[in-house]
Amino acid sequence: MYNIHKFGGASVKNAQAIRQVASILVDQVKSQGIPALVVVSAMGRTTNKLEKVVDACYSEQPALAWLHEIIQWHHEVVDKLGLPETTHSKVNDVFVEGEWIIEDAGLDEFNYVYDQIVALGEIAASTILCEYLRAINLKTDFLDIRDIIKTDESFRQATVLWDPSQKALNQWWSTTSKQVDIVVTQGFIASTLDNRTTTLGREGSDFTAAILAYLFDAKTITIWKDVPGIMTADPNKIPSAQKLDQLSYLEAIEMTYYGAKVIHPKTIKPLQNKQIELIVKSFDSPQTNGTIINDHPIVEYPPIIITEDDQYLIKISTLDFTFVGEHHLATIFKLLADKHIKVNVMKNSAISFTVCVSGLKNTIEAFIEEIGNVYKIEAIPALKLITVRHYNHSVLKDLLSGAEVLFEEKSKSTIQYVVRPLDD
């Protein structure tokens, strides 16, 4: 069996970072005596760049030229790693599919094209990492995760089909070589039953690692980040943030539900279902202790602060002053679910329902337009959602200075504010 490791884009952002990944893996394999299954994200900001390529496919912008810039950058990393010409050929083979898609992009639906092009970043990164590990004499296999994780056809937000995925993994395991040190695969991407590429939602590589841990019945997985572990807040926004040494599954699920970015929101559930321990460690300081997430209860937590930008506050009111009843809410929530829009906060009154949502801008705007055919709509975009778990009043006072509070929701352990910064 394997120990499962996940490395994000910052961990493979350049040649030096890839060497660091290799060093970590050598230490892990040697110290634990168990081969590693490595889930890797696209390098650095490649996903963002590929998203611009997709946008360019539906405008007058030079999509192909932008793709070639991305390809050239990957070749530069290959050269800096000192890899042979065959690696350049493999990188070209990855991206040639993108060139074909760009030529015919206007013929297909946007979300489908998005998944086909953006997925190339993960394939390219895992190809380069695999070739480098082989170059330093580690027995390394390459696994295309699209052969294992099967999903429905909800492009950009695909839902995992667990039984077909388990069957595919069992088939792969029965035929693959067991005499390897490392298997390299990709995060974030998957495929439909007829082998069309899908993605699991932005930043979904953590979820991929959790899926594999679940399918393999692994004991632990380690996620390597550019932070010391799970923090009480984003240290880039709140410098006083501190590392949490341990979290329960419940607290981790609550944090990710409310928008904490260190772990993908879907990661915890499959791990909790099989009591698989998750360790979040520092890529830059691999010898230091990170954060352990398991089923052990924690008596008391410090205030945990989560902020999310790009929020929409939408007030939905009936047109004839009738009460907002269950049938109204059923209609609203069905449309939200159909469009894969995340509900972050909500509250209803006699004749209105107010909701703070996040998601893809075009789908939120489509929701507003469609629901506006039946209800009166007031929508405010570009807001910030502040969530504080285990709050106290001194923390709240500091957080809300310089902001206009538009919406508030409070429970015993959690308080949420939708705010508009006063300097906007």
Number of residues that make up the chain: 424
Q: Looking at the domain assignment, is residue 135 inside a domain? A: yes
Report the pLDDT value the prediction gives residue 423, as an integer from 0 to 100.
Answer: 65
Shared-domain flag, residues 170 and 33: yes
Domain end (from 167, 192, 225): 225
Shared-domain flag, residues 59 and 179: yes
pLDDT tens per residue, range 13-39: 999 999 999 999 999 999 889 999 999
Q: Looking at the domain assignment, is residue 308 inside a domain? A: yes
pLDDT tens per residue, range 307-350: 999 999 999 999 888 888 899 999 999 999 999 899 999 999 99
Report the pLDDT value the prediction gives residue 359, as an integer from 0 to 100.
Answer: 86
Q: Looking at the domain assignment, is residue 404 inside a domain? A: yes
Domain end (from 210, 225, 240): 225
How many whole angstroms separate alpha carbon 71 and alpha carbon 310?
Answer: 30
Q: Looking at the domain assignment, is residue 282 inside a domain? A: no
Domains held by the chain: number: 2
Q: Which residues contact 72 (CB under 8 A, 6 or more apart)?
A: none
- Alpha-carbon 193 to chain mean position: 22
Q: Looking at the domain assignment, is residue 258 inside a domain? A: no
Sole residue written with tokens 């923090």: 231
Report the pLDDT value the prediction gives residue 23, as an integer from 0 to 100.
Answer: 97
In terms of residue numbers, what domain contains 355? Answer: 304-421
pLDDT tens per residue, range 83-105: 999 999 999 999 999 999 998 76
- State the alpha helices, DSSP H only, in 81-175: 85-103, 110-118, 120-135, 162-175
Q: Looking at the domain assignment, is residue 168 inside a domain? A: yes
Straight-line distance from the first to the last Cα atom of the chain, in angstroms, rounded to the nearest whole number: 53
Packing angle, helices 46-57 and 63-80, rounded to 10: 160
Low-confidence ranges of the chain (pLDDT < 70): 105, 423-424
**What CATH number did the domain enclosing 364 receive?**
3.30.2130.10
How many whole angstroms separate alpha carbon 27 and alpha carbon 23?
Answer: 6
